[in-house]
Amino acid sequence: MSEYKFTEPVLTVKDLVVKFNLRGQVLTAIRGISMDLYKGESLAIVGESGSGKSVFTKTFMGLLDNNGWIDSGAIEYGGYDLTAFKTERDWLKLRGKRIAMVFQDPMTSLNPLKTVGKQVQEAFTLHNKVSKEEARRRTIQLLDDVGIPEPERRYKQYPHEFSGGMRQRVVIAIAMACVPEILICDEPTTALDVTIQAQILELLKQLQARYGLTVIYITHDLGVVANVADRIAVMYAGDIIEIGRSEEVFYDPRHPYTWALLSSLPQLGVKGEDLLAIQGTPPNLFQEIRGDAFAPRNPQALKADFVARPPYFEVSPTHKARTWLLDPRAPDLAPPAHIRHLRTLRRGGIEHAT
Amino acid sequence: MFKYVGKRLLASTVTLFIILTTVFVLMRQMPIEGYFDNFDKVDQAVINAKLDQLGLRDTMPVQLKNFYTGLLRGDLGVSNRYRTGAPIAEIIASKAPISIQMGLLSMAVSLLLGIPLGAKMARSKSKLWDKLGTGFIVFINAVPAAVYYIYLQSFGSKALDIPMLFNPASPLSWVLPVFSMSLGSIAYYAMWLRRYMVDELNKDYVKLARAKGVPGQDITMKHVFRNAFVPMIQYIPSSLLFTISGSIYIESLYSIPGMGGLLVDVITRQDNTMVQALVMLYASIGIIGMLLGDLLMVLIDPRISFAKREGVR
């Protein structure tokens, strides 16, 4: 196995716990996540709705809703501990400048009453002291960079005069205005149609290569993941239960939840057979979760899964998973047939191709 | 754009024509007593002579034609019972200015107080300012205006040592009526602005603005406020124009010789021609106000375009 080429951590999360207050009840949205984000990589965070993907990354920018707070843990970035940031002033040092975000729905994430040019320019002038002329010139350059044709004319237009894909390019231009170090893409293609999706992903890849960005993709679309990610983190019930290089997670998944997730991919199903669906519902985050959060939905759960929360077990230096199955004492439980089949696919040469 | 304005103007003119004609025809169905201040005492010959003189015995098309030609010359007819023999245009011209002045002043006060209040409430949603503001709005809407008008008049004049009644020459005597008139609108502007701003604050573009590093203060002022004000801007021209109609209650409370209550007055006195003139005046103001409001919306909101859409969609 070749060495993972990204090794320098740019952002480190330690035992992060995020809680929300909802109608007087306290919900634990992130249950003690630790991970490193490496400079220049693209990390995909996958998981079902409500698994905490967005909330997790919002803590990097101080964008949690008012009823949410970081209960414990640390986020180390650029010499700061982001969990110690309290005031808006603190965050303005980073937001848009060093960490930027691309949101899900380009139809609603632009201000309908301001010209596209003004909105991109605002992001630029907020962090750069330049003359108006210069800002305008740079803005038009930015629009051009993200692939908007006729940027001079488009500069003066309003968001409603743009198509969905073009708007997402504008949103990306806003995020790129100050050439951030980390770009968080929160389901950047979910609201777009398939042909446009590919274009936007291609654009993001180009920008990443050009500026050496570190990109986090939040998605539940495994197709997107396969397309862009160097590493994958699988989230379930507010925790990363498996993390590893893409080919490791795709071809050699170890956590039963990852198995189940991949098994529900239509591409892996057998024609004529019912598509696998994961039984049950995600756990109630208002209550304390004991053991492995996925155990109640896992028909092959071990006794230990209900008793104690599994630690991370290393599968390889770059691949680890939180499941008792990796404990030496655990029975040798085979993954479902089609997951085993994936392993053979990998041996068949895909690894050489990468 | 010009094409749209032209179309809207034309449509408004047609609407106005239909309303004026309808009002005119309806008013002709009223008892003819309304044209005399001494109907019971005069004999039939005098009545007929007067009706002839007023042209009321002509056929309807002829009457309509005469009415419109008069209207174009600014002739609204003559009052017959309210102030016998006086041209209605003159009566209005003598009363409207004071109402308009009071109305404009109170509108300025309500915008200047109501809008900051609404913005403040939205920014401190469910905190102290919001609760105080909500208390004020509920009070103004729930308590009959008459109650706090009277309190304001009697206690206000005592506390501030200013006249209880209106006197055009003394600016101090304007304070209480103008302020009283503003209270309702302050609550109205604050309530709606708060509501629209809270709506806007929850929108995705605000999240994006935060993510790109816009400070909170700038988000509310540069992004949210303008967007929230758009739905309100439409009603500003109507409010401005309707200052002419005055406030019945305030004007009678402070004995202000304005337009307030004039319509009610002439209706009770059955002054047909004046009722007709005033109804038509208010209808026209309504239509013009709506027209101006719509045009203002087009100017301020780029999404509203009545020309064919251009560009990619």
With beta carbons less than 8 A apart as the criterion, state whether B164 and B154 touch: yes
For position B312, what pLDDT does the model report? 40
Q: Could you identify the residue written with the tokens 């691949």?
A: A319
To the nearest whole Å, the CA of A226 is away from the closest chain B CA by 27
Phi-psi region of A187 (alpha: psi -120 to 50; beta: other; left: phi over 0): left
Amino acid at site A301 = A
- A1, containing H or E segment: none
To the nearest whole Å, the CA of A238 is away from the closest chain B CA by 22
Provide the mean pLDDT of chain A: 89
Q: Which of A252-256, B174-178, B303-307 is the least confident region?
A: B303-307
Q: Nearest CB to B204: which of A95, A103, A161? A: A103
Residue of A nearest to B208 (CA): A109
Residues B235-247 have a mean pLDDT of 88
Whole-number Å distance between alpha carbons of B80 and B272: 8
Amino acid at site A68 = G
For position A68, what pLDDT does the model report? 93
Residue from A161, A181, A184 to probe the interface with B (highest B Cβ count within 10 Å): A161
Higher pLDDT, B63 or A224: B63
Does residue B2 register a pLDDT over 80? no
Q: Which of A169-178, A268-277, A299-308, B222-231 is the least confident region?
A: A268-277
> Per residue in B77-114, pLDDT tens?
888 888 888 999 999 999 999 999 999 999 999 999 99
Using an 8 Å CB-CB cutoff, list chain A residues near B203.
108
> Per residue in A237-246, pLDDT tens?
999 999 999 9
To the nearest whole Å, the CA of B271 is away from the closest chain A CA by 50
Residue of A nearest to B299 (CA): A113
> Per residue in B277-307, pLDDT tens?
999 999 999 999 999 998 888 888 888 765 5
Between the alpha carbon of residue B271 and those of residues A76, A110, B42, B265, B267, the distances in Å are: 82, 57, 17, 9, 6
Residue of B nearest to A159 (CA): B303
Interface list for B 204-263 with A (CB within 8 A): 204-205, 207-216, 222-223, 226-227, 230
For position B300, what pLDDT does the model report? 86
Concatenating the DSSP letter of every residue in B187-227 gives: HHHHHHHHHHHHHHHTSHHHHHHHHTT--HHHIIIIIIIHH
Between the alpha carbon of residue A71 and those of residues A56, A58, A88, A286, A343, the distances in Å are: 13, 14, 18, 15, 40
| Tokens linked to A327 | 């404990």
Q: Could you identify the residue written with the tokens 């990204």?
A: A6
> Per residue in A117-165, pLDDT tens?
999 999 999 888 889 999 999 999 999 999 999 999 999 999 999 999 9
Q: Nearest CB to B312: which of A105, A127, A163? A: A163
Whole-number Å distance between alpha carbons of A101 and A186: 7
Q: Angle between the A256-263 and A337-345 helix axes, to the nearest 10 degrees?
A: 90
Between the alpha carbon of residue A201 and those of residues A146, A229, B256, the distances in Å are: 12, 11, 70
Using an 8 Å CB-CB cutoff, list chain A residues near B302.
112-113, 158, 160
Whole-number Å distance between alpha carbons of A122 and A174: 8
To the nearest whole Å, the CA of A171 is away from the closest chain B CA by 8
DSSP A349: I
> Per residue in B199-236, pLDDT tens?
999 999 999 999 999 998 899 888 999 899 988 998 89
With beta carbons less than 8 A apart as the criterion, state whether A146 and A188 touch: no
| Tokens linked to A262 | 């991949």
Q: Angle between the A132-145 and A116-127 helix axes, to the nearest 10 degrees?
A: 110
Higher pLDDT, A266 or A232: A232
Task: Give the start-to-end residue ranges of the domains of chain B.
Answer: 2-72, 94-300
Whole-number Å distance between alpha carbons of B127 and A66: 13
> Per residue in A325-352, pLDDT tens?
998 888 888 788 778 877 777 654 444 3
Using the beta-carbon criterion (under 8 Å), do A108 and B303 form an inter-chain contact? no
Residues A306-310 have a mean pLDDT of 92
A334-347: string of b/e by CB count within 10 Å (b at 16+)?
Answer: ebbeebeebeeebe
Q: Nearest CB to B211: which of A63, A88, A112? A: A63
Using the beta-carbon criterion (under 8 Å), do A161 and B310 form an inter-chain contact? yes
What confidence tier does A220 reach under pLDDT thresholds 50, 70, 90? confident
Q: Nearest CB to B212: which of A96, A114, A166? A: A96
- A326, containing H or E segment: none
Concatenating the DSSP letter of every residue in chain B gives: -HHHHHHHHHHHHHHHHHHHHHHHHHHTTS-GGGG-SSGGGS-HHHHHHHHHHHTTTS-HHHHHHHHHHHHHTT---B-SSSSTT-BHHHHHHHHHHHHHHHHHHHHHHHHHHHHHHHHHHHHTTTSHHHHHHHHHHHHHHHS-HHHHHHHIIIIIHHHHT--SS--TT-THHHHHHHHHHHHHHHHHHHHHHHHHHHHHHTSHHHHHHHHTT--HHHIIIIIIIHHHHHHHHTTHHHHHHGGGG--HHHHHHTT--SSTTHHHHHHHTT-HHHHHHHHHHHHHHHHHHHHHHHHHHHHH-TT---SPP-S--
For position B122, what pLDDT does the model report? 93
To the nearest whole Å, the CA of B294 is away from the closest chain A CA by 17
Residue A215's DSSP bridge partners are A42, A183
Whole-number Å distance between alpha carbons of A285 and A280: 15
Cα A313 versus chain centre, distance: 22
| Tokens linked to A8 | 């320098």
Using the beta-carbon criterion (under 8 Å), do B227 and A111 form an inter-chain contact? yes
Rg (CA), chain A: 21
Topology, domain B94-300 = MetI-like fold (1.10.3720)
Phi and psi for A41 in degrees, rounded to 5?
-85, 165
To the nearest whole Å, the CA of B218 is away from the closest chain A CA by 11
Residue A236's DSSP bridge partners are A239
Using the beta-carbon criterion (under 8 Å), do A158 and B303 form an inter-chain contact? yes
With beta carbons less than 8 A apart as the criterion, state whether A6 and A41 touch: yes
For position A8, what pLDDT does the model report? 92
Residue of B nearest to A105 (CA): B204
Q: Report how far apart the first and last C-alpha atoms of chain B are (Å, whole number).
A: 20
For position B162, what pLDDT does the model report? 86
Counting Cα atoms < 13 Å in the Cβ hemisphere of A278 gives 21
To the nearest whole Å, the CA of A41 is away from the closest chain B CA by 21
Whole-number Å distance between alpha carbons of B214 and B203: 15
For position A354, what pLDDT does the model report? 36
| Tokens linked to A50 | 């409500």
> Per residue in A9-39, pLDDT tens?
999 999 999 999 999 999 999 999 999 999 9
Phi-psi region of A275 (alpha: psi -120 to 50; beta: other; left: phi over 0): beta
Using the beta-carbon criterion (under 8 Å), do A88 and B204 form an inter-chain contact? no
Using the beta-carbon criterion (under 8 Å), do A157 and B311 form an inter-chain contact? yes
CA A198, A200, A203, A205 dihedral sign is negative
Does residue B310 register a pLDDT over 50? no
Kind of pairing, strands A99-102 and A182-186?
parallel
Residue of B nearest to A186 (CA): B208
> Per residue in A31-88, pLDDT tens?
999 999 999 999 999 998 889 999 999 999 999 988 999 999 999 999 999 999 988 8
Counting Cα atoms < 13 Å in the Cβ hemisphere of B19 gives 19
* Cβ atoms < 10 Å from Cβ of A319: 22
Q: Nearest CB to A163: which of B226, B301, B313? A: B313
Counting Cα atoms < 13 Å in the Cβ hemisphere of A239 gives 26
Q: Nearest CB to A174: which of B212, B226, B312? A: B212
Residue of A nearest to B311 (CA): A161
For position A1, what pLDDT does the model report? 47
Whole-number Å distance between alpha carbons of B309 and B313: 9
With beta carbons less than 8 A apart as the criterion, state whether A126 and B212 touch: yes
| Tokens linked to A276 | 């696998």
For position A3, what pLDDT does the model report? 67
Residue of A nearest to B224 (CA): A111
